[in-house]
Structure 1
Amino acid sequence: MEKLNPYLTFPGNCEEAFNFYKSVFGGDFSYIGRFRDIPSEEGLSIPEDRMNKIMHIVLPLGEKCLLMGSDCDDGWCPDVVVGNNVSLSINTETKEQADQLFESLCSEGKITMQIGDVFWGSYYGMCTDKFGVTWIINYSKPEGNT
């Protein structure tokens, strides 16, 4: 396993929260993606009022940890309730490791997003395990390997 990072979801105020965390921890965002950035060929119908909300944001906390987050407030994912708004994101070293972890963690749980290739170039999936913990599995493919 390469890294394990906290992933926070918010009911529409992710940008405000991450600006606060940035003021506390310092540093700069290494990525900000909004729902308007999803390519149209993905076939998703994104409501106009959601376009400027945060799809994915990353704030490095030192060299070994990333604080990540997104807005999740209108049926695109489970309702945000304090207590279920933290997920664990695993970045794996290989695609095979990603598959093995995903299969094991999803066993007797619920798949939110089947693991597979995604438009940002990773191999990615989401699930909730049988104990109610949400997991994000990500393998960042080497450039040129799609």
Structure 2
Amino acid sequence: MSVNAVAHLNFHGQARAALEFYQSVFGGQTTIATYGDFGMPAEAPGAANVVFGQVVADNGFRVMAYDVPGEGAPIAQGAPTTRRENGTTITEEPFFLSVRGETVEEVGALWERLAEGAKVIEAFGPAQWAPAFGMLTDRFGITWVLDVAAEYTRA
């Protein structure tokens, strides 16, 4: 048996823009189905919103997203709840999305694209536990941790 855990992100009218942005950062193919595609009348409010969406890339990146039905404030309008204080990450968020790669160059390139319009929490650079690490909250309110896998030796 094989299973995969995939982040499923919830938005309020921003899912299409988020999925298109993540595809521009990580590559791959985007699939989007709207509430209208599933039978909601085209003139109904929210018919163009995403009921199912995903980005799947050959490099292993995968994320799913949809627009929560009904009215709601866009997620990115609130101030991010994650910050660094005295070398410690302080947060009220239930999760971060983590992206790990093999080289500083490949992860650094992803960082540069993902950081467009983001709030940087910890700048991408060398860390005690990894050749490079960084944390940011993107323009859609999602907090990401990007790092480079460290080579560990077993004792």
For the aligned pair, the TM-score class normalised by the smaller chain equals: 0.3 to 0.5
TM-score when scaled to structure 1? 0.41
TM-score when scaled to structure 2? 0.39
Compare CA radii of gyration and give the structure with the larger one. 2
